Amino acid sequence: MNATAIAYEQLIDRFVRWAHTDDNLRAAGIVGSRARIDHPADGWSDLDVLLVATDPRPYCARSD
């Protein structure tokens, strides 16, 4: 596994730990090129995460 793949795995792990602490989140999923199994993402692919929340406003109002 290359350094970029490792960094994405670490980011996903951090996101999952954070998501488990937020009662407002109902679901989350990875979409886009990193979710494909027929043609894996390349090194330039970003990570697209879809959030489903009871109230989305807190996430739209902050950038952190």
pLDDT tens by residue, 4-63:
888 888 999 999 999 999 999 999 998 887 778 787 777 778 888 999 999 999 888 888
Domain boundaries defined on the chain = 3-60
Write out pLDDT tens, residues 26-43.
999 988 877 787 877 777
Cα–Cα dist 24/51, whole Å: 10
Cα–Cα dist 44/22, whole Å: 30
Structure tokens at 47: 């990570």
Q: H or E stretch including 30?
A: strand 25-31
Cα–Cα dist 17/58, whole Å: 18
The answer for residues whose C-beta is within 8 angstroms of residue 59's C-beta and 6 or more apart is 51, 53
DSSP lists the bridge partners of residue 52 as 27
